[in-house]
Structure 1
Amino acid sequence: MREPSPVRPPAVGIIANPVSARDIRRVVANANSLQLADRVNIVLRAMAALGACGVTRVLMMPDREGLKPMLERHLMRERAASTGNQTWPQLEWLAMPATGRVDDTFFAARLLREAAVAAIVVLGGDGTHRAVVRECGQVPIAGLSTGTNNAYPELREATLAGLAVGLYAMGRIAPDTALVYNKRLDVTLDARDGARRHDIALVDVAIANEHYIGAKALWRTDSLAAVYMAFADPEAIGLSAIGGMLDPVGRREPGGLCVQVAPLEPRAPHTELADPLFHLHAPIAPGLLQPVPVYGWHRLADGEPAPVRQRAGVMALDGEREITFGPDDRLTVTLRERAFRSIAVADCLRYAAAHGLLRAQRQPASGPGVPSLPILLHP
């Protein structure tokens, strides 16, 4: 009789985009680029916190930019220098080719979903997180902001994110407390030939009056026609800042927002277009503010398809051009609430503090008359 296979301890996935924050918006806006060593250090800090919570396995996406050998070298050094109070998870690389394209992120997210990891830690910007969410299914994510436009991933220290993920992965915090639902924009293109294409955006869908994709990153506003937003935070950078500076919508608040930034059609041949209501200055990239004409705006309701009224153009998902459409195509954008789950880092840390999850047993006295002291999570 075959013995049952031993149950493997919960694993955590990590997807680190090694080339995020290197697109044209970084050049035109004079913004800093995150170096490879910085990404390695972020991963190390997250892994240290995961290990402290008892996570023993980390599955990670390989790359072609040198992150893998640098991380392994630093991890070996950290293990050699660590004391008995520091435990590092075993790092396993996903068995997949590394092409340096977004397909790597799609593939890695699918593999991590199939491996039933407890959660996925994502290093990147809006585009990287969108790629993970598109393929990870019901696996919750924890976002770390390392991209150019970071409206979705909040700026947070990797150690704290690692603690929250680790406590959840080890079952110390229940899903009802540890996880939060997020909104999403679903895009459907019904083409003239009968084909149908679906895609998603986590933050914004922008319609541009262009006829080709060209460079992926969308950073100019003079060709914009409309922007659909799942949420619009006044503190965000990117195209969603147009809505954030106009009519803010919180990421946990019901509904979304659509802003019309170009007239739909001329009044008549050889006459000027309708005038905008006003111009709004918005930070569409780090260090880059541009005036945006506003012709009108309205709220989006959960589950109600909003038809794109422009006859032709290019659609950008979370700031990157992805889809072209023509006058005979039908394009809709639908807001979905409770679309995917993420780790509520702040809630997890508050719960851990309130329930003493980071406390440990007292050490035995080391000698007569010597009081025992609590063992901290880290020395």
Structure 2
Amino acid sequence: MTRVAHALEASIGVVANPVSARDIRRIVANAGNLQITDRVNIVLRLLSAAASCGVKRAWIMPDRGGIRSLLERHIRRGTDHSLPAIEFLDMQPTSTVEDTFTATRLLQRMGVSAIVVLGGDGTHRAVARQLVDDNSAVPIAGLSTGTNNAFPEMREPTITGMAVGLFASGRIARAQALARNKAIEVRIEDARAGTRRDIAIVDAAITHDHSLGARALWKTNSLVALYLAFADPQAIGLSAIGGLLQPVGRLESGGLAVQLAHGGREALLSLHAPIAPGMVRPVDIASWQRMVAGEALPVLAEAGTVALDGERELGFEHGQRVDMTLRENAFFTVDVARCMGFAANAQLLRYTSSLNH
């Protein structure tokens, strides 16, 4: 079958991170970890539900962590007829974030209607970043399998699969199915090296650290400032700090900027925040303010690192300028709750019983 023919089918993509939730925060916080078999079962439940709602084909990112091999073993048994046709993307996995970037680009070429992501905030950020870079309208449907999961919602994969299937098969229009999401754009300017840009889909944090280190950020003593696309008091992670100060909803206009203190007179108040699973820590707050979309806020620290959605990604030095800007309508997600509510009200899942004939 040609790629043109594939594009005519109701198809979805799946990016399943086999190593999400294995950073240092899992060790220090006594948190659990999904095994590969659990991740495969999530994918199978998702795909079966999507197929029941009209999805004919699923393109899946290959990996070296065991997800592909277990899925192929399941398919070879030939006993599960509930699944759509499954194909793996033509790419060589490297077991780095580049796999996610490559898979997201390939899935767009294959014409998928939506990309389902299994991972934490970092995996979802990688998919969203590629979509933003490509100016793509393909939406994400998130499933939480990471450490800090402020962005992906905790939901049974069967329900997510049904919502994605109803959208991908054209039974729910974009206007009813999708939500627009905010992002924090990070810009680092250097007179000689040029400009670097990246995004955070939940929080961008400034630290005093001068190296990326273990990347995962779980200590608060080096934090200088936070810039939040949304701030949910029920979330885990750095965004919970803002959520406990002044909640900002995902669909609400604007964001939140928080300046942190480290004791002394500059601390306006202290609060206890759940910065990782099982880790509630005191945080000293100097000030906070709402972020307005499109208005760049300069970072006051002269050197340090920028952590994007909980992981140190960018370093900056003296003489470099760092700005944070809230971008609204940055990318799309499948609004699962809204899709299922629409399906119920529009009676999309009702069928006439054969007993009435």
Q: CA deviation at 1:114?
A: 1.7
- The amino acid across from 1:52 in the alignment is S
2 CA distance for matches of 1:143 and 1:76?
28
Once structures 1 and 2 are overlaid, which stretch shifts more, 64-73 or 221-230? 64-73
- Larger % of helix: which? 2
SS in 2 for 1:172: coil
Q: Which residue in 2 is equivalent to 1:90?
A: 85
SS in 2 for 1:129: helix
Unaligned runs of 5+ in 1: 264-271, 364-370, 374-379
- The amino acid across from 1:276 in the alignment is A
1 CA distance for matches of 2:261 and 2:313?
20
Q: Which residue in 1 is equivalent to 2:237?
A: 238
2 CA distance for matches of 1:222 and 1:317?
17
Q: CA deviation at 1:274?
A: 3.7
1 CA distance for matches of 2:11 and 2:58?
6
Checking the alignment, whether the CA contact within 8 Å between 1:204 and 1:230 is kept in structure 2 is: yes
- Residues 207-356 of structure 1 aligned to structure 2 (within 5 Å): 207-262=206-261, 274-356=265-347
SS in 1 for 2:323: strand
Q: Which residue in 2 is equivalent to 1:13?
A: 13
The equivalent position to 1:115 in structure 2, one of 101, 107, 110, is 110
Instruction: Please give the per-residue CA displacement for 1:318-372, whole angstroms capped at 9, x wherever unaligned.
Output: 0000111012001111001111111010111011111111122432xxxxxxx44
Q: CA deviation at 1:81?
A: 4.9
User: TM-score scaled by structure 1?
Assistant: 0.89
Q: CA deviation at 1:59?
A: 0.3
SS in 2 for 1:69: helix
2 CA distance for matches of 1:360 and 1:296?
56
- In the alignment of these two chains, the number of paired residues is 349
1 CA distance for matches of 2:99 and 2:54?
28
Once structures 1 and 2 are overlaid, which stretch shifts more, 65-74 or 165-174? 65-74
Q: CA deviation at 1:51?
A: 1.0
- The amino acid across from 1:95 in the alignment is D
In the superposition, relative to structure 1, how do residues 8 and 205 fare at CA in structure 2: closer, same or farther (>3 Å)?
same
- The amino acid across from 1:130 in the alignment is R
Unaligned runs of 5+ in 2: none
Instruction: Please give the per-residue CA displacement for 1:190-243, whole angstroms capped at 9, x wherever unaligned.
Output: 024241111000000000001111111000000000011000000000000100
Q: CA deviation at 1:99?
A: 0.7
Checking the alignment, whether the CA contact within 8 Å between 2:306 and 2:315 is kept in structure 1 is: yes
Question: Is 1:180 matched with 2:212?
Answer: no
Q: Which residue in 1 is equivalent to 2:79?
A: 80
Identical amino acids, percent of aligned pairs: 54
Checking the alignment, whether the CA contact within 8 Å between 2:10 and 2:54 is kept in structure 1 is: no
- The amino acid across from 1:353 in the alignment is A
- Residues 127-166 of structure 1 aligned to structure 2 (within 5 Å): 127-136=122-131, 137-166=136-165
1 CA distance for matches of 2:148 and 2:214?
16
- The amino acid across from 1:101 in the alignment is T
Checking the alignment, whether the CA contact within 8 Å between 1:277 and 1:293 is kept in structure 2 is: yes
2 CA distance for matches of 1:69 and 1:313?
41
Question: Greater Rg, structure 1 or structure 2?
Answer: 1
2 CA distance for matches of 1:251 and 1:29?
27
1 CA distance for matches of 2:224 and 2:31?
26
2 CA distance for matches of 1:91 and 1:256?
39
In the superposition, relative to structure 1, how do residues 81 and 306 fare at CA in structure 2: closer, same or farther (>3 Å)?
closer
Checking the alignment, whether the CA contact within 8 Å between 1:208 and 1:225 is kept in structure 2 is: yes
Q: Which residue in 2 is equivalent to 1:62?
A: 62
Question: Is 1:28 matched with 2:28?
Answer: yes
User: TM-score scaled by structure 2?
Assistant: 0.95
- The amino acid across from 1:342 in the alignment is T
- The amino acid across from 1:111 in the alignment is L
Instruction: Please give the per-residue CA displacement for 1:34-62, whole angstroms capped at 9, x wherever unaligned.
Output: 11111000000000011101211100100
Checking the alignment, whether the CA contact within 8 Å between 2:209 and 2:304 is kept in structure 1 is: yes
Q: CA deviation at 1:273?
A: 5.5
Instruction: Please give the per-residue CA displacement for 1:132-163, whole angstroms capped at 9, x wherever unaligned.
Output: 01113221010000000000101011000000
SS in 1 for 2:245: coil
The equivalent position to 2:120 in structure 1, one of 99, 121, 125, is 125
Checking the alignment, whether the CA contact within 8 Å between 2:306 and 2:314 is kept in structure 1 is: yes
- The amino acid across from 1:74 in the alignment is H
SS in 1 for 2:117: strand
Q: Which residue in 2 is equivalent to 1:103?
A: 98
Checking the alignment, whether the CA contact within 8 Å between 1:11 and 1:56 is kept in structure 2 is: yes
Checking the alignment, whether the CA contact within 8 Å between 1:262 and 1:294 is kept in structure 2 is: yes
Instruction: Please give the per-residue CA displacement for 1:66-99, whole angstroms capped at 9, x wherever unaligned.
Output: 110111222444x4154xxxx3201110011111
In the superposition, relative to structure 1, how do residues 49 and 81 fare at CA in structure 2: closer, same or farther (>3 Å)?
closer
Checking the alignment, whether the CA contact within 8 Å between 1:44 and 1:75 is kept in structure 2 is: no
1 CA distance for matches of 2:33 and 2:191?
41
Q: CA RMSD in A?
A: 1.5
1 CA distance for matches of 2:14 and 2:353?
33
